[in-house]
Amino acid sequence: MRRTGLVQIGYAAALVAILGVTGCATIEPAPGTDADAVSAGALPAELPPAMDIHTGEVPVTRESWNFSSYPGTRLSTPNYAIHTTIKYERFLARLPVFVECSLDRYRTALADLPRPRRRLQTYIFRDRRQWSAKTRQLLPDQASTFENLGRGGYTTRGTSVLYYIDWSGRDRDTFAITAHEGWHQYTQTCFRNPLPIWLEEGIATYMEGYRFRRDMVVPDFQPWNNWERSRALGDAIRAKNLIPLRELLDESPQKFLSEGKERLLVYYAQAWALTRFLADGDDGRYRDELAEVLSDAAAGRMIPRLARAPAVLAYGGKSRVTSRTGPWVILGYFTSDLVAFEQQYLAYARSIAR
């Protein structure tokens, strides 16, 4: 059984996802750091006419590449530079289409969002030993923290560093982590205002659900198709162990980790449910507002808007709108009545739980 959750390390310094015994992390760019600096190659304004993600027609340049003494492959697509030491041909054939389809989903599923200005760098290693070596190279001061994780990877400054976590020849979990971390990769690269942590992680979980079509190349993304999140949500409901909305919005994942792994899994299941509620619940009642949040964050308008929102001012939040925790986005974009909003959200969460 695969179980997924997230934890924050060092508050806004690193986010770690736990997938069974699996970890994924998001490391925020340091203040003043150009999130594109580690990406390779400026992109043309228009995509090549030969590209059609709906049919899996993605131009790919395949070259030999080595990481230290390990032979590998560099796959260059219109929007990605992928470096991998994985040798499974089915995985290598699917991967370029999967990441390009994922990027299209990030940009269109919830709002009309910008295309990256540079290719996104992704490393997917054959095993944990190679991943650890790359981590020591990129993050020497934090490598020991990541080496204590289970399976998974992390994203830093727009670059994702993952490794193959499935059994030989299978790829379900590896692609799920690629989709999750890809959202962090995208927002680090393209958003001028960072999203609140609960929404950043909620959308990343929203992007996890998928299945491949009959052609076994093009993925269908299905946010509801996430058994691990819905089961964790159902377990919490049956145990009467749900996290109150204000606590969900106010606290960091690290706090929930301190209460135990299961509590952490509940946090991420509820972030998934809350994002689905905003996107699809109550006949799309809040979908336009969610699109506004994402468009404003990408353009750098979210923080200024929150700073002058009447409901935010009424809650005394003007000086705290730059924090990545708190109810400010809910108050500034969705509703001033948190009590009624929580009841609506909980009713929806119960309807999607297993």
- DSSP of 142-172, one letter per residue? THHHHHTS-EEEEEETTEEEEE--SSTT--H
Residues 6+ apart with CB under 8 A from 258: none
* The one-letter amino acid at 236: A
Q: What is the pLDDT of residue 348?
A: 98
Q: How far apart are CA 100 and CA 96, in angstroms?
A: 6
For residue range 179-191, list pLDDT tens digits in order. Answer: 999 999 999 999 9
Q: Which of 347, 301, 253, 308 is nearest to 111 (CA)?
A: 301
Q: How far apart are CA 302 and CA 263, in angstroms?
A: 30
Q: What is the pLDDT of residue 277?
A: 98
Q: Which of 121, 118, 44 is nearest to 75 (CA)?
A: 121
For the chain, give every domain's residue range: 4-221, 230-352
**Interstrand relation of 118-125 and 219-221 (parallel, antiparallel or unpaired):** unpaired
Rg (CA), the chain: 19
Q: What is the pLDDT of residue 217?
A: 84
Q: What is the pLDDT of residue 11?
A: 26
pLDDT in tens, the chain (354 residues): 333 333 322 222 234 443 432 334 444 433 333 333 333 556 666 666 668 888 889 999 999 999 999 999 999 999 999 999 999 999 999 999 999 999 999 999 999 999 999 999 999 999 999 999 999 999 998 887 776 665 668 899 999 999 999 987 678 889 999 999 999 999 999 999 999 999 999 999 999 999 998 777 899 999 999 998 999 999 999 999 999 999 999 998 878 878 888 898 999 899 999 999 999 999 999 999 999 999 999 999 999 999 999 999 999 999 999 999 999 999 999 999 999 999 999 999 999 999
**Cα angle vertex 315, ends 346, 265, to 5°?**
35
CA-based torsion, 100, 105, 106, 108: positive or negative: positive
Q: How far apart are CA 67 and CA 84, in angstroms?
A: 9
Q: What is the pLDDT of residue 229?
A: 93
- Could you tell me the pTM of the whole model? 0.86
Q: What is the pLDDT of residue 78?
A: 95
Q: What is the pLDDT of residue 45?
A: 60
Give the DSSP H/E element, type plus range, for residue 338. Answer: helix 338-352
For 211, phi and psi rounded to 5 degrees? Answer: -150, 155
For residue range 50-87, list pLDDT tens digits in order. Answer: 688 888 899 999 999 999 999 999 999 999 999 999 99
Q: How far apart are CA 120 and CA 115, in angstroms?
A: 11
Q: What is the pLDDT of residue 23?
A: 38
Q: What is the pLDDT of residue 49?
A: 63
Distance of CA 329 to the CA centre of its chain: 18
